[in-house]
A and B are shown apart, each in its own frame.
Chain A
Amino acid sequence: MADLVTLQPPGPRLARRRAGAGGARRSSPRSLTPRLRRNLSAYGFLIGGVVCFALFSWYPMVREFIMSFQKTQLGVTSWAGLANYRRIFNDPTFWTAWRNTLEFTLLALLFGFAVPFFVAILLNELRHAKGYLRCLVYLPVMLPPASALLLFSYFYDPSYGLFNDILHTLHLPTSQWVLSPGTRWPTMAMISVVIAATWMNMGGATLIYLAALQNIPGELYEAAEIDGAGLFRKIRYVTIPQTRLVLSMLLLLQIIATMQMFVEAFILDGGQGVNNNTESVVYLIYQYAFAMSSASNFNSAAALGVVLLVVLATFSGGYVWLTRTRDR
């Protein structure tokens, strides 16, 4: 009986415990021992995971937080208060990095979120070659990122790259792609990064959407058609609402992931780009930590990391709160 009660979800469990036959038993001290034992066995299952999280996630995070308020000179670590934070806020590239990251996120949402969804819709309609097309779409996901990105940087080369060759053959103006110097939104440089990133990653999202689409009951489309809905209305009023859960979850994950963009720009153009136009926040952290001589140091990188964390947490919190109220 005791086990049965524990397996029920919280809230109702509490109520059920008070009512009913088991209620009286609950209040006797003897019932604590099975409960303790249950907790112990539960912790037993948890311990491996908790230790790993503690050692490799929580402890480093705390350390990072502390580091952001320190400074190190001549081997001595001392308290620095808000000095690191002041330094990063005074750095003009700080604001550039945030602007660029925002630009990347927005572009990536356009390319990397909308495109897989509509590709999935398209693929869902086709009755033939489904297996082949699904394979095609997912294939780039499996490549080592360095391979794919080195290939793209080869294609993007302004003088011997394939893309400019294609443009040239079509009598279109060539581009400098990921090495474009512009800084006005949207920059060709960032678009180039997003194209490469989308090619590499869209397969996963596409297939997940495809699965979700296959679960939509056909009757809903019938009903919509009877009401006179055309193609786009059907998508708007049937497809999207039905896949809302998947869409919203993947949207959140995508935004969190794109705010942490690093490898793509790093391999394609060194990370900074011309005029710092592909420099992301995470790349700036990398620069502070590893790539600037004495002008900055790891404590500043820690401060920047904390700032990024706060932004992400606030955003996710807000997002979850917004979508939660709708689901109820």
Chain B
Amino acid sequence: MADSYARSLISGVQLNRARGKIIYRIVLTLVIVIFTLVFIGPLYFLFTDGLKSTQEAIAAPPTLYPHALHPGSYSRAWGEFSLGRLLLNTLYYAFGALAFQLVFDVAAAYSLSRLRPALGNVILALMVATLMIPAMVLIVPLYITVAHLPIVNISLIGSPAAIWLPSVANGFNIFLLKRFFDSIPKELTDAAAIDGASPMRILRSIVIPISRPILAVVSIFSLVAVWKDFLWPLLVEGGFNPPRETLNVGIWTASQTAPENMVLAASAIAAVPTIIFFLIFQRNILAGLTAGGIRG
């Protein structure tokens, strides 16, 4: 009878031995301490350096904690850099982009995977090939296109569509989604087809429910991509009053002309929503990533 319990590199038996136990405890403690220092340490400074005065923030050598608290930087940063507004902008763009991607990219991947139109392979290749195009390469022709959309000749500059629509052109999504759809057992969809279900019905009732893991992965990547984007939102949404750019861009613009402690206070404030979001949804996020890992 083979060992049926799950085990990894080091077996449970080894760990149960006295020596194994001690080594394990030491390693565990070391890992926890080091990881906490490495990953939370910088965040500690992120939050406390904003509380220092302008001079203390650039004092050499640096102080480990603020010798005099100046919480005013936080409220000033919030107001002067319109952080609340920027945060709302970012959420609006991120979830809007996600919606567009879920609708268009899922439909496209489904079509390429299941419905297999003529020229499907060509279209797929063209879509995935875009992965190789660096964003910077396209920035100006893309800007020109967005400023004068061909045929309809309207401008999307300053409109959220300037972020939402180009986000659909994401080769990675298509790649991930198609791959996942390809791996859905044919029997499931065939059975429904035999019963006379239309492709749309099959998509809605069978494919999508099964695809929750990959949809979670795509959603995470999509939200994170908008969150992290820099030059594009700067170009298409920058310069308006009230501000329309994203948080990431706004902080950088602020850093050009603000003292160090204000910049850090603003950065800290910007980090808070992500941390909260993460703590609330960590289970889903981690599950999504692991699912992506298994399938991927």
Bound complex: CA A38 to CA B24 (Å): 60
A79-87, A90-98, A105-113, A219-227 - interface stretch: A219-227
Within B221-279, which residues are at the interface with A (CB < 8 Å)? 224, 227-228, 230-231, 247-249, 251-252, 255, 260, 263-264, 267-268, 270-271, 274-275, 277-279
Within A193-247, which residues are at the interface with B (CB < 8 Å)? 199, 204, 207-216, 218-219, 221-222, 225, 231, 234-235, 239, 245-246
CB A234 to nearest CB in B, in angstroms, measures: 6
Bound complex: CA A287 to CA B60 (Å): 33
Given contacts A218-B8, A289-B140, contact A4 B190 (CB under 8 A): yes
A134–B165 touching, CB < 8 Å: no
A49–B108 touching, CB < 8 Å: yes
Bound complex: CA A235 to CA B9 (Å): 8
Given contacts A46-B108, A46-B117, contact A282 B291 (CB under 8 A): no
Interface presence of A114 (CB below 8 A): no
Q: Which of A55, A128, A142, A216 has the most CB of B within 10 A?
A: A142
Given contacts A165-B62, A218-B7, contact A150 B255 (CB under 8 A): yes
**Which chain A residues border B144 with CB–CB below 8 Å?**
60, 63
Interface presence of A308 (CB below 8 A): yes
**Which chain A residues border B268 with CB–CB below 8 Å?**
147
Given contacts A138-B278, A144-B247, contact A308 B115 (CB under 8 A): no
Given contacts A151-B45, A219-B2, A222-B7, contact A267 B252 (CB under 8 A): yes
Interface presence of A52 (CB below 8 A): yes
B31–A43 touching, CB < 8 Å: no
Interface presence of B137 (CB below 8 A): yes
Q: B117 is contacted by which of A43, A55, A234 (Cβ under 8 Å)?
A: A43
Interface presence of B211 (CB below 8 A): no
B248–A126 touching, CB < 8 Å: no
A151–B42 touching, CB < 8 Å: yes
Q: Which residue of B lies closest to A286 (CB)?
A: B136
Interface presence of A89 (CB below 8 A): no
**Which chain A residues border B149 with CB–CB below 8 Å?**
55
Count: A-B pairs, CB below 8 Å: 317
A45–B62 touching, CB < 8 Å: no
A213–B132 touching, CB < 8 Å: no
Interface presence of A273 (CB below 8 A): no
A210–B293 touching, CB < 8 Å: yes
Q: B5 is contacted by which of A132, A154, A218, A286 (Cβ under 8 Å)?
A: A218
Given contacts A146-B251, A160-B62, A263-B230, contact A7 B104 (CB under 8 A): no
A61–B39 touching, CB < 8 Å: no
Interface presence of A159 (CB below 8 A): yes
Bound complex: CA A122 to CA B234 (Å): 40
Within B110-124, which residues are at the interface with A (CB < 8 Å)? 110-112, 114-118, 120, 123
A146–B168 touching, CB < 8 Å: no
Interface presence of A29 (CB below 8 A): no
Q: Contact size class for A?
A: 35 or more
Bound complex: CA A244 to CA B263 (Å): 43
**Which chain B residues border A286 with CB–CB below 8 Å?**
136, 231
Interface presence of B199 (CB below 8 A): yes
Bound complex: CA A214 to CA B290 (Å): 9
Interface presence of B209 (CB below 8 A): no
**Which chain B residues border A316 with CB–CB below 8 Å?**
132
B271–A234 touching, CB < 8 Å: no
Interface presence of A324 (CB below 8 A): no
B290–A211 touching, CB < 8 Å: yes
**Which chain A residues border B116 with CB–CB below 8 Å?**
6, 10, 42
**Which chain B residues border A143 with CB–CB below 8 Å?**
270-271, 274
Q: Which residue of A lies closest to B268 (CB)?
A: A147
**Which chain A residues border B198 with CB–CB below 8 Å?**
41
Q: B294 is contacted by which of A10, A39, A211, A285 (Cβ under 8 Å)?
A: A211
B111–A43 touching, CB < 8 Å: yes
Interface presence of A291 (CB below 8 A): no
Known: A135-B282, A214-B8. 11 other contacts (CB 8 A): A3-B190, A41-B115, A45-B107, A52-B168, A67-B141, A133-B31, A145-B248, A146-B251, A151-B45, A211-B289, A309-B137
9 A-B pairs within 8 Å (CB atoms) are namely A43-B111, A44-B111, A46-B108, A58-B130, A129-B32, A139-B39, A151-B42, A165-B62, A260-B136
Interface residues of B (CB under 8 A from A): 2-3, 5-11, 15, 24, 27-28, 31-32, 35-36, 38-40, 42-43, 45-46, 49, 57-62, 103-105, 107-108, 110-112, 114-118, 120, 123, 126-127, 129-142, 144-146, 149-150, 165-166, 168-169, 171, 174, 186, 189-190, 193-194, 198-199, 203, 224, 227-228, 230-231, 247-249, 251-252, 255, 260, 263-264, 267-268, 270-271, 274-275, 277-279, 282, 285-286, 289-294, 296
Interface residues of A (CB under 8 A from B): 3-4, 6-8, 10, 38-39, 41-46, 48-50, 52-53, 55-61, 63-64, 67, 121-129, 132-148, 150-152, 154-155, 157, 159-162, 165, 168, 199, 204, 207-216, 218-219, 221-222, 225, 231, 234-235, 239, 245-246, 249, 256, 259-260, 262-263, 267, 282, 285-286, 289, 298, 301-302, 305-306, 308-309, 312-313, 316
Closest 5 CB pairs of A and B: A49-B108, A211-B293, A305-B137, A211-B290, A42-B115
